[in-house]
Structure 1
Amino acid sequence: MRHAEEVTFGGSALDRAGEVRSNPDVIKFMLRAGDTKAVIFWRGKPLISPQRPASLVRLSLDHPVLADAEADPILLGREDGAAVFAFDLSKWAPDGLDEEGMGSFLDPSEQRHPALSEEMVFAELRRVMTWLTPRDAELAATGKAIIGWHDIHGYCAKCGAPTIVTQAGWQRSCPTCRASHFPRTDPVVIMLITHGNSVLMGRSPGWPQGMYSLLAGFVEPGETLEAAVRREVFEEAGVRVGAVNYLASQPWPFPASLMFGCQGEATSTDISIDPVEIEDAQWVTREEMMEVFAGNHVSILPARKGAIAHFLLENWLADTLE
Structure 2
Amino acid sequence: MTNNPSPFAFVDGALDRADHLRDDPETLASLWPQARIVVLEDDGRAYADRNDALLAPEGATLGGGPGTAIFLGLREGQAWFAQSAKLVAYDAPARIELRTAATQWPTFEATVFAQARAMLHWHARHKFCGVCGGELGFVRAGWLGQCARCGSEHYPRTDQAIITAVTDGQRLLLGRQRNWPPRRWSVIAGFVEPGESLEQTVAREVLEETGVIVRSCRYVASQPWPFPGSLMLGFLAEAGPDVPVVGEELDDARWFDADTIRAGLARDWAVGPEEEEGGIALSAPISIARWLIQSWLASVTR
Tell me the TM-score normalized by structure 1.
0.83
The answer as to whether partners of 1:192 and 1:264 remain within 8 angstroms in 2 is yes
Distance 1:148-1:225 versus aligned 2 partners, 3 A rule: same
Distance in 1 (CA, whole Å) between partners of 2:246 and 2:136 is 43
Q: What amino acid is aligned across from residue 37 of structure 2 in structure 1? A: A
Q: How does 1:193-208 map to 2 (within 5 A)?
A: 193-208=166-181
Report the Cα distance in structure 1 between the residues aligned to 2:86 and 2:263, rounded to whole angstroms.
42
Residue 46 of structure 1 is matched in structure 2 by 46
Aligned to 1:159: 132
Q: Distance in 1 between matches of 2:277 and 2:210?
A: 22
* Count of paired positions: 292
> Do the aligned partners of 1:55 and 1:133 also contact (CA within 8 Å) in 2?
no
Instruction: Determine the structure 2 residue equivalent to 1:58.
Output: 56
* 2:272 matched residue in structure 1: none
Q: Deviations over 1:184-226 (max 9, x none)?
A: 0000000100112211100111111221111100001111111
Indicate the residue corresponding to 2:18 in structure 1: 17
* Whole-angstrom distance in 1 between the partners of 2:183 and 2:71: 40
Residue 155 of structure 2 aligns with which residue? 182
Output the amino acid matched with 1:202: G
Contact 1:48 1:123 in 2 (8 A): yes
Q: Aligned residue for 1:86? A: 82
Which position in structure 1 is the counterpart of 2:290?
310
Counterpart amino acid of residue 38 in structure 1: I
Letter in 2 for 1:59: P
User: Residues 200 and 297 from structure 1, CA distance in 2 versus in 1: closer, same or farther, beyond 3 angstroms?
Assistant: farther
- Aligned position for 1:100: none
Deviation larger for 41-50 or 156-165: 41-50
CA distance in 2, matches of 1:187, 1:248: 13
Secondary structure, counterpart of 1:56 in structure 2: coil
Partner Cα distance (1:258, 1:9) in 2:
11
Partner of 1:5: 6
Mean Cα displacement is larger for which, 201-210 or 251-260? Answer: 201-210
Give the SS at the match of 1:5. coil
Residue 71 (structure 1) shift: 6.1
Give the distance between the partners of 1:37 and 1:208, measured in 2 at CA: 38
Q: Residues 288 and 297 of structure 1 are in contact (CA less than 8 Å); yes or no, is this contact kept in structure 2?
A: no
User: Cα offset for 1:123?
Assistant: 1.2
In the TM superposition, residue 301 of structure 1 has moved relative to its aligned partner by: 1.1
In the TM superposition, residue 267 of structure 1 has moved relative to its aligned partner by 3.5
CA–CA separation in structure 2 for the residues paired with 1:135 and 1:313: 25
Q: Tell me if structure 2 keeps the 8 A contact 1:30–1:36.
A: yes
3-state DSSP of counterpart to 1:298: coil
Distance across 1 between alignment mates of 2:174 and 2:186: 5
Shift of 1:129: 1.5
d(CA) in 1 for partners of 2:293, 2:9: 14
Which residue does the alignment assign to 1:96? none
What secondary structure does 1:62 align onto? helix
Structure 2 match to 1:231: 204
C-alpha contact 1:5 1:248 (8 A) present in aligned 2? no
Matched AA of 2:210: A
- In structure 1, the gaps of 5 or more residues are 93-112
CA deviation vs aligned residue, 1:134-158 (integer Å, no higher than 9, x gap): 2111100110001001111000111
Q: Give the corresponding residue for 1:282.
A: 254
User: How far, CA to CA, are the matches of 2:212 and 2:228 in structure 1?
Assistant: 29
Is 1:291 matched up with 2:289?
no
Deviations 1:45-80 (A, max 9, x none): 1223474xx64322111335x79xx96100011111
Q: What SS does the aligned partner of 1:244 have? A: strand
What RMSD in Å do the two structures reach over aligned CA positions?
2.7
How far is 1:175 from its partner?
A: 2.0
Equivalent position of 2:36 in the other structure: 37
- Judge conservation of contact 1:11–1:134 (CA < 8 Å) in 2: yes
Distance in 1 (CA, whole Å) between partners of 2:67 and 2:236 is 43
1:13–1:141 CA distance, 2 compared to 1 (3 A): closer
Q: Indicate which of 145, 153, 158 corresponds to 1:172.
A: 145
Tell me what 2:71 maps to: 75
Distance in 2 between the 1:191 and 1:24 partners? Answer: 43
Equivalent residues of 2:49, 2:55 under 8 A apart: yes
Deviation at 1:7, TM superposition (A): 2.1
| Conservation of the 8 A alpha-carbon contact between 1:37 and 1:85 | yes
Q: TM-score of the superposition, structure 2-length normalised? A: 0.88
SS at match of 1:235: helix
